Amino acid sequence: MSFVIFLFLVGLILGLVAVASNPSPYFAALGLVVVAGMGCGVLVGYGGSFLSLILFLIYMGGMLVVFAYSAALAAEPYPESLGSPGIVLYAIIYSVVVVAGGFYFSGGWYEASWIPADDTAEFSVFRADTGGVGLVYSFGGGLLGVSVGVLLLTLIVVLEVVRGLGRGTVRAV
């Protein structure tokens, strides 16, 4: 099981490198889909199946629609692909930085510390992620409101960034 989680974490890092190194919105969206899928796979591996499902549905339903809309406004006729020399150079640099940081900060981390939340209690009444769902709706209402505000701010910022010289998204063609 820890090997599968390790593969999910490697896929997560590779997706993040693809997003960070690519200036084209099309391939960056592909990297974001990979990052969302791999991150949800890690959550499933640690016992958060409901949280993983909700995160994946909200991300794919909300933020990816905004990203696709901004990519449609900033469309390039010939976008750079993931195999372009400049993109590959940036990806190698980012990968080396991530691996060096992993070696530097991995002093006390071992495979034995990767214990799923369900394995910590012998006779648990409920799973770890279902207890968290109850807390989100009881004590996390303020944080849920802040999250909605941050997503709205992100939408406004993305629309302002891709606005261009046409002075808005609704313009005469």
pLDDT in tens, 133-165: 677 677 777 877 888 888 888 878 877 776 666
Taking only the tens place, the pLDDT of each residue in 71-116 is 666 666 677 777 788 888 988 999 999 889 888 887 766 665 566 6
CA distance 165 to 41: 41
Residue 93 has a pLDDT of: 92
Tell the residue number behind the tokens 């899928």, with chain if given.
37
Largest CA distance in the chain: 65
Burial 55-66 (b: 16+ CB within 10 A, else e): ebeebeeebeee
Q: Give the start-to-end residue ranges of the domains of the chain.
A: 2-166
Taking only the tens place, the pLDDT of each residue in 33-55 is 888 889 888 888 877 777 788 78
Q: Look at 21-35, 119-133, 151-165 and tell me which has the smallest mean pLDDT.
A: 119-133
CA distance 25 to 30: 9
Residues 6 or more apart whose Cβ sits within 8 Å of residue 20: 90, 94
Match domain 2-166 to its CATH number in 3.90.1070, 1.20.120, 1.10.287, 3.90.550: 1.20.120
